Structure 1
Amino acid sequence: MDDADDKHSPTPHPAGFPADETHRLTAEELAFLLRDPMLRARAAERAARSNRLRTERRASDPAYAEKLRAGDRERQQRRRRRNAIGRPEPAERPATTLPDLTLPQAARLLSEYLAGSTTAQAAQLRGRPDRVRLYAEAFVTYRTLSAGDVRPSCGALAALLKSRFGHTVTRSQAQKLRDHVEGFAITEGPWSPDPAASDVRPRSGPGNPASKRDKGKAGSKDKAGTDGHAPRPSRP
């Protein structure tokens, strides 16, 4: 009888070892803990040297720095996609309502707005007519793409700016331009759709040269600057 009970009794674990199998170290963990301290020190030294060389090259090689930034953005996008699995899709933000203005009209209203502003950013922008024109072109591009009341994507803005006006902008620059357009369209802004501001806008007509369609193309192919000058739009 005692022999039968002994056969079914659990095997005792040695002292100092947990009974739960899940707490046992894997072979890789044991190998890491039992490594020679000198090997671990050399591995840490190699990692530090690699990081130092990468930092130095990033500072001296713009193309390499952009490659690293692109890799970081891609990893962040993958992480966001993984985190978004199972979550409901966020509601799309509607497009900002913009007035019916031609490119010269938008540029003129923006110039007048900046002339009356006392901020340092406005003073800097007043001396950059090329930047004013870029924002006006972004205004026209935004309004064209938002015809269906859908907020234009950064990629669509960048593509149309390049094909229509010859400007090459990155995705982040296109995002800043979109924010500027929406910021200038707030109440009392130069591109506000408020009817009260219509008295300062030029009327279309045969005698008004601003009513003619602007056919000039921007000659510069450089990447557009997108420093912040517009007031921030109110968040929904």
Structure 2
Amino acid sequence: MRDGGALPAGADQAHRLTADELAFLLRDPMLRAREAERAAKSNRSRTERRAADPAYAERLRAGDRERQRRRRLRDSIGRPEPPEPVAADLPDLTVAQAEARLTDHLDGRPSAQAAQLRGRPDRIRLYAEAFVAYRILSAGGVRPTRGMLAALLKSRFGRAVTPSQVQKLRDHVEGFAMAGGPWAMASPHPSGTARTRSTRKADTDSHAPRPPRP
């Protein structure tokens, strides 16, 4: 009623609760509390399992990445495609040559990270294999995807790597290919011809200067 008169037609409809709203309000408070407790318990169990089971944690991360990929795909509909990322420019090296250059580079580094990597020849070998795989896949000038890199590491070198591991490998390859790194392209010789020595000390100009030894 408004000032003693009847409500306008349809006004009562606007104030009516939906069936879902009524069901929510009429639910037993104890039932709501039990459901909240079950949800909290499920979250705790998932968190504990994530910490104890790396494979399970990786599956959860993969699911999150896939949902993010789908969301980005939906958001990108109708937008112009971004340019393809450009690959790092890498010299033509074998696995052994790439491994030797990286080892030489680490020998001249006093950092704790370099010391740790020097003690992991298996890790240095993996980086060198990732270098070769990256170079093969980037022959067209386009940065290889993580999936492509992981597949080639598996088929060519028998390496099984997770998405997060292959991401780090790709980042390391590109980082070592930057100026001053062991896999940077050789600068041209003053005479106009590039130096291509194949010994362990090859292409020392592409390495960062070594600190003086005591």
TM-score when scaled to structure 1? 0.70
State which of 154, 159, 176 in structure 1 corresponds to 2:151: 159
Whether 1:33 aligns to 2:25 is: yes
The residue number in structure 1 matching 2:38 is 46
Contact (CA 8 Å) 1:187, 1:194: kept in 2 or not? no
Are residues 102 and 37 of structure 1, via their aligned partners in 2, closer, same or farther at CA, if it must alter by over 3 Å? same
State which of 191, 197, 210 in structure 2 corresponds to 1:202: 197
Gaps of 5+ in 2: 1-5, 202-214
The residue number in structure 2 matching 1:100 is 92
* Range with bigger deviation, 30-39 or 102-111: 30-39
The residue number in structure 2 matching 1:79 is 71
| Runs of 4 or more consecutive aligned structure 1 residues displaced over 4 Å after TM superposition | 17-21, 196-199
The residue number in structure 2 matching 1:149 is 141
CA deviation digits over 1:82-106, x for unaligned, max 9?
2222222221111111112222221
The residue number in structure 2 matching 1:118 is 110
TM-score when scaled to structure 2? 0.77
Are residues 66 and 99 of structure 1, via their aligned partners in 2, closer, same or farther at CA, if it must alter by over 3 Å? closer
Deviation at 1:54, TM superposition (A): 2.6
**Aligned length, in residue pairs:** 192
Q: Aligned to 2:93, what secondary structure does the other structure show?
A: coil
Whether 1:190 aligns to 2:190 is: no
Contact (CA 8 Å) 2:97, 2:200: kept in 1 or not? no
Deviation at 1:115, TM superposition (A): 0.9
Q: Match of 1:81, as an amino acid?
A: L
The residue number in structure 2 matching 1:228 is none
Deviation at 1:42, TM superposition (A): 1.9
Q: Match of 1:102, as an amino acid?
A: T
CA deviation digits over 1:51-83, x for unaligned, max 9?
223333333444433333332222222222222
The residue number in structure 2 matching 1:130 is 122
Are residues 56 and 26 of structure 1, via their aligned partners in 2, closer, same or farther at CA, if it must alter by over 3 Å? same
Whether 1:68 aligns to 2:44 is: no
Are residues 91 and 53 of structure 1, via their aligned partners in 2, closer, same or farther at CA, if it must alter by over 3 Å? same
Instruction: Work out the CA distance in 1 between the residues paired with 2:143 and 2:58.
Output: 28
CA deviation digits over 1:148-170, x for unaligned, max 9?
11111111111111111111112
